[in-house]
Structure 1
């Protein structure tokens, strides 16, 4: 943006990337420090960093028209997916499983009572409640029923059960396909209240007390809790190291995205949906600067034409392409190839088979011991 304006207006410039004290702009004991302090003392002409426009800064310097809206977000590490063996139970929620099991128990008792005088048409072996449970369960496993009792009311009862069983079985099979092929993600934190009530610590680069002070002095319970969790670190290497250990990272939303892309953590991180401190971003000039209006005109044109957003997206995409972070995504132009299911996908079925085999052997041993005694 600065290069484009310099070419149009015909001026040269030199950049200072980091101020001597490392701060952006903070009022301490009535004196401005950081980048804004250099502008206030007329050591620098203006600041092109994404500077949030707030009252005390606005009174100390002249700000251009806002060219960007930003906020502060907290980035967390993506939680690991559920174990793949749980895929056999994940198609239904906990309460659906409870409802299915309780319904099957109650219906088994009702069915057992209904066919008490007509059980020989159904069972080849012993007539008991377990046999009734097994017989009714055939419907859930797509097994046909060769004999139907002629007891009064039984056929209406079975018709309703078969319709319900068809819906349950179809729903389970449909969801099971998805859970077998795609790992299900654990729930993520989406609100600041959830984060405040969690045990996750929050870290931020120490470049001033602008945002930390806002949290530390807040009377709002959620923001106050976040302030208690917050600690400042001297450089981004330590911030990323804390992130890898499970801490959250508080940073301006736009720069946070760029930070995690450049550190190649974009696939292992996500931002909490609820943001902090929404603000306008502008450039800061010396108070009474005569050429601020010239910059206003060009920044306004760049913003309205979409160039600011386009340049930002282009820089991010170019970096991701150069580091291979977009490989295999929709940007690469390659379709994901089909692959066969592996043991990792189907481990839940083999675990159920193994547990069922062990249980069957235990029951067999108990029956053998009982018969001998």
Structure 2
């Protein structure tokens, strides 16, 4: 593409048949035909994956709920002491403590005899609290384990500037890098310092990750993702950010003062069939030309081909492993076994509990020998 525009600038070529963004740096070298499209440049990143997290047991409840539960747990021993203080019985204290802790953990308890009316009312109110909190926590914990919380995606340009370490764009994006570097916007200047050139779109998309983003025209990048990065189940490992990275008018490069430019502009306007002479209004839905129809047909064909390839891959997988396919159909293809990623929190808690129990047992043995 650089060689094509170089020939246009040197007047060896009448026109470049590839669309270019209308940038000030390019305007100095060559002219543009009628800007028949407003082109959006999208940024592409890898979809965030689920990372192991020991806070898995903490996610089911919000910070405010945990603080309220902590406040109740700190207040309960004092209230329990006031309820049973008139009995002055060590057995009552132990029984009450076991009931409080056991009911909170969902354990059954035996009903004691000779309990005062105050202690019965206190235990009954505590049972209601433990039932509500325990049921809500267990339900939310099940949901958090089966449907874990994925890291948030980078969707805006501001988030992109704070998150990524590198930006990639094809070799013909050198003018875009110069434009970003010379921009008065601080965010664009940051992007210009991080922007690197890659040979082609596929090499750039292959390097895309959570910290590396690929910048390309929206139609090109969406088509490449559909054709080359679609998985067998119909999903893909890349996504396009919601906010546009750069928006600019675009046209075909021609030499400065080309005498045939007005005629080419007229033909382009005929193809696009603009229904309004006012600039920039055709992209608001006031045009129904051939250009958009061709673009939609191209994307539709690509999606159809990708779906056909997916079906072929699924058929091959079914033929290679019939047993696995039958098991998948029996579970409706949606059930997934929980991994260490999901269960890291409970496993870590169990390990800490076993260590604490071992230390307590060792302390009791040493104390018994002393």
TM-score (norm 1): 0.68
Match in the other structure for 2:270: 294
Whether 1:360 aligns to 2:360 is no
The one of 267, 284, 302 aligned to 1:316: 302
In structure 1, the partner of 2:13 is: 43
> What's the CA shift for 1:132?
6.1
Q: Is this contact kept in 1: 2:156–2:242, CA < 8 A?
A: yes
Residue by residue over 1:191-219, the C-alpha shift from the partner in whole angstroms, topping out at 9 and shown as x without a partner, is 32333233521121120444322321122
Contact 1:202 1:249 (C-alpha < 8 Å) held by counterparts: yes
Distance in 2 (CA, whole Å) between partners of 1:291 and 1:178 is 59
Q: Distance in 2 between matches of 1:199 and 1:119?
A: 65
Name which of 125, 142, 155 aligns with 2:121: 155
Q: Partners in 2 of 1:310 and 1:343 — Cα distance?
A: 42
2:238 equivalent in structure 1: 269
Q: Residue in 2 aligned with 1:140?
A: 104
Q: 2: CA distance between counterparts of 1:279 and 1:326?
A: 40
Structure 2 CA distance for aligned equivalents of residues 180 and 326 of structure 1: 33
Contact 2:145 2:343 in 1 (8 A): yes
CA distance in structure 2 between the partners assigned to 1:326 and 1:280 by the alignment: 40
Aligned counterparts of 2:366 and 2:249: Cα–Cα separation in 1: 80
In structure 2, distance between residues paired with 1:175 and 1:153 = 31
Using the TM superposition, give the Cα deviation of residue 271 of structure 1 relative to its aligned residue in structure 2, in angstroms. 2.9
Secondary structure in structure 2 of the residue aligned to 1:301? coil
Higher helix residue share:
2
**SS of equivalent residue, structure 2 residue 236:** helix
**CA–CA distance in 1 between the matches of 2:66 and 2:313?**
40
Give per-residue Cα distances to partners, 1:287-324, cap 9 Å, x unaligned: 111533432339943469x7356414413312322442
> Which residue matches 1:72?
41
Q: Aligned partners of 1:202, 1:340: CA distance in 2, in Å?
A: 35
The aligned residue for residue 370 of structure 1 is 367
Q: Which residue of 2 aligns with 1:25?
A: none
**1:170-185 alignment runs, 5 A limit:** 170-185=135-150
Which of 177, 195, 200 is 1:212 aligned to? 177
Displacement of 1:348 after TM fit?
A: 4.8
User: What RMSD over aligned residues (CA atoms) do the two structures have, in Å?
Assistant: 4.2
Count of residues in Structure 1 that have an aligned counterpart in Structure 2: 328
Alignment check: 8 A CA contact 1:63 1:284 kept: no
Q: Tell me, yes or no, if the aligned pair for 1:203 and 1:247 is still in contact at 8 Å.
A: yes
Give the drift of 1:94: 5.5
The gaps in structure 2 that reach 5 residues or longer are: 255-259, 275-281, 315-328
CA deviations 1:71-117 (Å, max 9, x no partner) are 22222222330227654333234564455334423333443344333
CA–CA distance in structure 1, aligned partners of residues 44 and 223 of structure 2: 12
SS of the aligned residue for 1:292 comes to helix
The gaps in structure 1 that reach 5 residues or longer are 1-18, 23-32, 329-333
Query: In the TM superposition, what whole-angstrom CA distance separates every residue of 1:251-309 from its partner, at most 9, and x where no partner exists?
Result: 222322223333317722233333222345566785111533432339943469x7356
Q: 285-294 or 214-223, which moves further after superposition?
A: 285-294
The answer for the alignment partner of 1:188 in structure 2 is 153
